[in-house]
Amino acid sequence: MGKLIIGAVVTGLILFIWQFLSWAALDLHGSNMAYTPNQDKIIECLNTNLSEEGQYFINRALPGASAEEQEAYGQKMIGKPWALVTYNKTFDNNMGMNMARGLIVNIFSGFLLVWFLLKIPNITFGTTMIGCLIIGAISYLSTSYINSIWFETNSIPDLIDGLVPWGIIGAWLGFWLSRK
């Protein structure tokens, strides 16, 4: 039980620290959140034209449109501008709560990983390292990369987030879990 708890907490802390480095100190994701000097005008337009918070894909066919209508709309939009907009009515900078939730999720993720790894008989450093890198690659490929295909975004920062911390975690857990 000690290996599980310590492994989970340290894994969660490694993820938490990496996320701070990735998003704040190193600003790896800055390219995905570009600045525009027209932001005040855009927000004013969104406030005027959107009544509910949510994520909007602009240009999209009318909900309930037939397959033929969707196809016709899609053909009409080829070569025209589009946007993916996440809209919130108020900015809530509750950094403390967001960080606490992130840390809890990271520790829980560590718990799931370590529980799974401990089910492998005679676990080795190499098996742990490769397993963690595979988990990082799967998390990147099945979410961030797929989204980058559809929404044409830069996913290199997410690839780095999928491999670097999981490699560090793999090295630490490889040492920790293979100890007798």
What pLDDT is attached to residue 8? Answer: 96
| Structural domain boundaries, residue 158 | 2-34+93-177
Residue 40 within any structural domain of the chain: no
Give mean pLDDT, residues 27-43.
88
Inform me whether the pLDDT recorded for 33 exceeds 80.
Answer: yes
Task: Please state the pTM of the whole predicted model.
Answer: 0.81
Q: Find where tokens 């999928």 sit.
A: 162
Domain assignment present for 52: no
Query: pLDDT tier at 31 (50, 70, 90 boundaries)?
Result: confident
Residue 6 one-letter amino acid: I
pLDDT at 13: 97
**123 domain residue, yes or no:** yes
Q: CB-side exposure of 79: number of CA atoms within 13 Å?
A: 2
- Tell me whether residue 162 is in a domain: yes
Q: Is residue 148 part of a domain?
A: yes
Residue 43 maps to a domain = no
pLDDT at 91 over 90: no
Per-residue confidence band for 129, with pLDDT thresholds at 50, 70 and 90: very high
Q: What are phi and psi of 86, to 5 degrees?
A: -105, 120
C-alpha distances out from residue 167 to 47, 124, 136, Å = 43, 15, 8
Task: Please write the tens of the pLDDT for every residue from 68-87.
Answer: 988 889 898 899 998 888 88
Q: How many domains does the chain have?
A: 1
Residue at 41 is within a domain: no
List Cβ neighbours of 158 (8 Å cut-off, separation of 6 or more). Answer: 140, 144, 145, 148
Please give the helix or strand (H or E) that residue 58 lies within, else none. strand 54-58
Angle between helices 156-177 and 95-118 (to 10 degrees): 50
Q: Identify the bridge partners of residue 87 per DSSP, sorted by sequence position.
A: 54
Residues 134-161 pLDDT 10s: 999 999 999 999 999 988 888 999 999 9
Any idea what DSSP says for residue 37? Answer: T
Mean pLDDT for 110-133 is 95
Residue 151 resides in a domain: yes
Task: Tell me 132's DSSP state.
Answer: H
